[in-house]
Amino acid sequence: MPQPRHPALATAALILGGVAIGTTEFVTMGLLPRIADGVGVGIPTAGHTISAYAAGVVVGAPLIAALGATLPRKGLLVGLMAAFAVGNALSAVAPGYETLVAARFLSGLPHGAFFGVAALVAVDLAPAGRAGRAVGTVMLGIPIANVLGVPGATWLGQTLGWRSAYWLVALLGLATVALVAAQVPRLPGDRTRTVRAELGALSNPQVLLTLAVGAIGFGGMFAMYSYIAPTVTEVTGLSESAVPVFLLVFGAAGFVGNLVAGRMGDWSVLRSVVIGMVGLGVALGLFALVAPYAVPALVVLALASVLASVLVINLQLRLMQVAGEAQTLAAAGNHAALNLANALGAWLGGVVIAAGYGYTAPSWVGVGLAVLGLAVLAVSVRVHRRDTRGAARAAAPAPEVTTPA
């Protein structure tokens, strides 16, 4: 296995791609009122731009992963990030709502495949027994984005106009292209894989159940977080300038959560998924209750971010465990599922807001989605235990049969 000349810079290249992706995924939420005004629609309708990006991820992740499984991983990363930069540039110049929705869809297409391939590269380069921490390190791009990229891009969008945020993301994408090309070693794809073999992993019940846990249960997080900007201004009663502070706290907590999640994954992936899902549901319910109070809202938002990170990282590891040889699809599939959750959560949150239930209603929708995700997880655990017992019985030596002399 080739090793990078500068391992820290190779890892930094993968993380920077995550920063760019995390910034574009979440900055729309922080600028949603500005975007709505800019394209002449209401906030619930503008929320469809979030769903459009998520839909791009859902479509692109399995398709690109399956088609690209045989391609050299470095070249695939470069191509994906170049396409990502173009999509965000198109978002920045979109003249109206319909074209913005289309540009956000195109921006989302490379998202899942980039993270999936980056996770596989990180595992390839990591020492034995540290796969969880390697994936957690690559995924640090998301919390770093929420600590620096999203608050910074939100401030930029509030100051220079919302389009400037997408221009910033496009520049981050181009910087990632240059750093990956310079620092990530050449790693071959698996030429024995076919599109049919990759997609065949979807016939595995545990793969489907794990994807469903993310698609349903994690939707609760997006139901709440998609409307964090109007929640801060309308429910908590703070000025628009407080929104980047809430985003910063969310990102800082996610950074901590990623570090914790990798170590928890090396301890027990399945138990960590259970802890993350249960804890996230509780945190969303608490947020709905304390949203009118600034400090408690910040504390609970931080808790939800930590638990969300634990859930995301360990769902990624769980898929890589159960997908067999279809590792590219498994690694990318998690992001497709999570962005299906993004689309579902943003849409349902917009529905209850448009129905007049207020900006805390999406958090209660989130609690319901977390409960449904937990029910799917219970089925997955039951199937896992059944399969484990069956494998143990099959591996046990047959009892000796003695015959009387």
- Please state, for a pLDDT cut of 90, what percent of the chain lies above it: 34
d(CA 42, CA 350): 10
Confidence grade of residue 46 (pLDDT, cut at 50, 70, 90): confident
Give domain status of residue 383, yes or no.
Answer: yes
Which of 59-68, 165-174, 303-312 is predicted most confidently? 165-174
How many domains is the chain partitioned into structurally?
1
Domain-embedded: residue 263: yes
Measure the CA–CA gap between 64 and 232, rounded to whole angstroms.
37
Residue 102, domain CATH: 1.20.1250.20
Supply the pLDDT for residue 405.
45
Which has more confidence, 203 or 232?
Answer: 232
Give every CB contact of residue 127 below 8 A, 6+ residues apart in sequence.
Answer: none
Q: Would 1 be classed as within a structural domain?
A: no
Residue 218 lies in a domain: yes
Q: What is the mean pLDDT of residues 381-393?
A: 72
Between 67 and 98, residue with greater pLDDT = 98
Domain contains 402: no
Q: Which two tokens stand for residue 188?
A: 């071959």
**Using CB atoms within 10 A of its CB, is residue 130 exposed (0-12), middle (13-18) or buried (19+)?**
middle
Residue 331 is predicted with a pLDDT of: 66
Q: Extract the tokens encoding 198.
A: 């990759």
pLDDT in tens, 4-45: 666 778 888 899 999 999 899 888 888 888 999 998 888 878
Q: Which residues of 378-394 are buried (b: 16+ CB within 10 A; e: fewer)?
A: eebeeebeeeeeeeeee
What's the pLDDT score for residue 269? 85
Top-confidence range, 24-38, 152-166, 183-197: 152-166
Mean pLDDT of the chain: 84
135 domain residue, yes or no: yes
Pair 19, 149: CB distance under 8 Å:
yes
Tens digit of each residue's pLDDT (9 = 90 or more) over 346-385: 889 889 998 999 999 999 999 999 999 999 988 988 887 7
Least confidently predicted of 267-281, 312-326, 381-395: 381-395
Q: Are the beta carbons of 145 and 305 closer than 8 angstroms?
A: no
Maximal CA-CA distance, the chain: 95
Give residue 40's pLDDT: 87
206 vs 93, more confident: 93
- Interval 300-307 mean pLDDT: 94
Residue 26 lies in a domain: yes
Predicted confidence band of residue 105 (pLDDT cuts 50, 70, 90): very high
For residue 173, pLDDT over 50 is answered with yes
Q: Who wins on pLDDT, 56 or 392?
A: 56
Local structure of residue 41 (DSSP, 8 states): -
* CA count, 13 A, side-chain hemisphere, 107: 33
Q: What is the pLDDT of residues 314-349, one digit of tens each?
A: 888 888 777 776 666 766 777 788 878 877 888 898
The tens digit of pLDDT for each residue in 245-264 reads 888 888 889 888 888 887 88
Burial class for 402, CB neighbours closer than 10 Å (0-12, 13-18, 19+): exposed
For residue 20, give the nearest of 176, 136, 138, 125 by alpha carbon. 176
Per-residue confidence at 192, pLDDT binned at 50, 70, 90?
low
Q: How confident is the model at residue 118 (pLDDT cuts 50, 70, 90)?
A: confident
The domain containing residue 270 runs over which residues? Answer: 7-389
What's the confidence (pLDDT) of residue 168? 96
